[in-house]
Amino acid sequence: MTAVAAEIRSAAQAISVAGELAADFASGAAARDRDRALPYAEVDRLAASGLLAATVPAGYGGADLPPSVVAEVVRILAAADPNIAQIPHSHFVYLNLLRLAGSDEQRRHYFGKVLRGGRIANAQSERSGATVADISTTLRPAGTRFQIDGTKFYCTGSLFADVLAVLTRLDDPEEVSGLAAGEYIAYLPADTPGVRIIDDWNGIGQRTTGSGTVHLDGVFVDRDQLIARAGAVGAPTGYGSFAQLLHAAIDAGIARGALTAATEFVRTTSRPWFESGVARAIDDPLLIQRFGELSVAVTAAEATLVAAGSAVDAATVGVASRPGGELFGASGRSAATFGGVSASPDGDDPVARASLAVAAAKVLADRAANEVSASLFEVGGTRSAAADLNLHHFWRNARTHTLHDPVRWKYQHLGRALLHDAAPPWHGVI
């Protein structure tokens, strides 16, 4: 954990600091990716900047910046180095879970850590279930404490974290724990006995995100380290749309970074095709046309990201937690009223509108990131394929990150909203 972290107090300051960091991070991004040099120093700087505490509520000493600002910070960082931009994704998501479903004591404790430079990473996904939604990591009563056993994969940021947010399932038919059965997030120090963080991530892209494996073998936690996940995902809180907004921001950033790299390469290195009749590649009318098309793709992704950010901001205003974890949305209706799905998208439901806006942004960001990063070689020519340049890291990062959750289901939710007047469901990826 960073010993002292700076204070972020405004959106303008957060965006300015992100821009300064991005300028420095960009210069070494290709080399770090090529050599798989993990960005420990860069993540230390990110934590020390105070950006990781930007969403801490004002009542707990933070800037309480809205989702749209966090998304812009992430997009700026992703244009420079999408690996670094993805590392704090879960950090912001699990701070949001604390805000929505944690107790006052839990918030004070963990928000305080983050204000001092602490970092949270996820230990969520598993490979053994029939789908990604099936969780087998167990949470069992053990005297006055609880024991966790299981193995987690794709634990982005875990190598850099002070705290791991571990998704577990409590099955307590005898009700000896005093807790309802279901999914819980356990917040535990990364050096807790029984925790092993393995640096074994071998994806073709996002190679320095620290997305390895976490083994949990006889890990003991106390009751005050547990938060019921249903408090965030079982009510109209905007939890899923916030998480997805940040993913879209990473993809939009990759698209912008790839377009910037392509522009610089063609300006400085590419030769014109002989049939063009021009002396410089940048004067080839067909290249000019193609760059215009790519610019439109990136601009559209960025514009829908801004619109989605505004929608998520609106969805999270008025969402507050009450003692006992009972959550109410801006409309004042409880989760039971909604019956597990959002209200009609044609009605006055900012949560449903936010999910649909983010779904559209995710589709366009996915498309732009993959198209522009691949087209870099089309417009750059043979010289751009030189391995030592590692320009393919943009495409590898785009292709890897956009696999997080399928955009084909975003189309489904958007189409059902139009044709069936059906709102999107509540879960962490919509």
Question: What distances in angstroms separate CA 256 from CA 295, 380, 420, 427, one per listed residue?
Answer: 9, 16, 35, 29
**Which CATH number is correct for 138-230, 3.20.20.150, 3.40.50.10420, 2.40.110.10, 3.90.25.10?**
2.40.110.10
Determine the distance from the C-alpha atom of residue 348 to the mean position of all C-alpha atoms in its chain, rounded to a whole number: 27
CATH superfamily assigned to domain 235-320+345-420 = Butyryl-CoA Dehydrogenase, subunit A, domain 3 (1.20.140.10)
Which two tokens mark 1? 């954990």
Q: What's the rounded mean pLDDT across residues 340-366? A: 81
Give the pLDDT confidence score for residue 427 in this predicted structure.
Answer: 85
Residue 338: band (very low, low, confident or very high) from pLDDT cuts 50, 70, 90:
very low
H/E stretch holding 169: strand 163-170
If you average pLDDT over every residue of the chain, what do you get?
92
Residue 274: band (very low, low, confident or very high) from pLDDT cuts 50, 70, 90:
very high
User: Which residue ranges does the chain devote to CATH 2.40.110.10?
Assistant: 138-230
Residue 428: band (very low, low, confident or very high) from pLDDT cuts 50, 70, 90:
confident
Residue 323: band (very low, low, confident or very high) from pLDDT cuts 50, 70, 90:
very low
- How many CB atoms within 10 Å of residue 98? 26
Per DSSP, the three-state class of 148 is strand
Residue 4: band (very low, low, confident or very high) from pLDDT cuts 50, 70, 90:
confident
Residue 326: band (very low, low, confident or very high) from pLDDT cuts 50, 70, 90:
very low
- 48-52, 176-180, 181-185, 240-244: least confidently modelled range: 176-180
What pLDDT, in 10s, does the model give residues 134-176? 999 999 999 999 999 999 999 999 999 999 999 999 988 777 7
Question: What distances in angstroms separate CA 397 from CA 13, 81, 108, 175, one per listed residue?
Answer: 28, 9, 36, 45
Helix, strand, coil abundance in the chain, percent, nearest 5: 50, 15, 35
- 9-18, 29-38, 116-125, 327-336: least confidently modelled range: 327-336
| Residues paired with residue 168 on neighbouring β-strands, in sequence order | 184
Give the pLDDT confidence score for residue 319 in this predicted structure.
Answer: 62
Q: What's the rounded mean pLDDT across residues 179-192? A: 96
**Which CATH number is correct for 11-119, 3.40.50.10540, 3.30.950.10, 1.10.540.10, 1.20.120.530?**
1.10.540.10
User: Which residue ranges does the chain devote to CATH 1.20.140.10?
Assistant: 235-320+345-420
pLDDT above 70 coverage of the chain, percent: 93
Give the pLDDT confidence score for residue 178 in this predicted structure.
Answer: 87
Give the separation between CA 228 and CA 234, rounded to whole angstroms. Answer: 10
Sign of CA dihedral 350, 68, 326, 323: negative
User: Which residue ranges does the chain devote to CATH 1.10.540.10?
Assistant: 11-119
What pLDDT, in 10s, does the model give residues 118-134? 999 999 999 988 998 89
Query: Does the pLDDT value for residue 346 go beyond 70?
Result: no
Give the separation between CA 290 and CA 268, rounded to whole angstroms. Answer: 17
Q: What's the rounded mean pLDDT across residues 312-323? A: 69
Query: Does the pLDDT value for residue 325 go beyond 80?
Result: no
Give the pLDDT confidence score for residue 335 in this predicted structure.
Answer: 30
Q: Which of 163, 119, 170, 116 is nearest to 5 (CA)?
A: 116
Q: What is the dihedral of CA 32, 36, 37, 41, to 10 degrees?
A: 80
Q: What are phi and psi of 151, to 5 degrees?
A: -130, 135
Give the pLDDT confidence score for residue 114 in this predicted structure.
Answer: 98
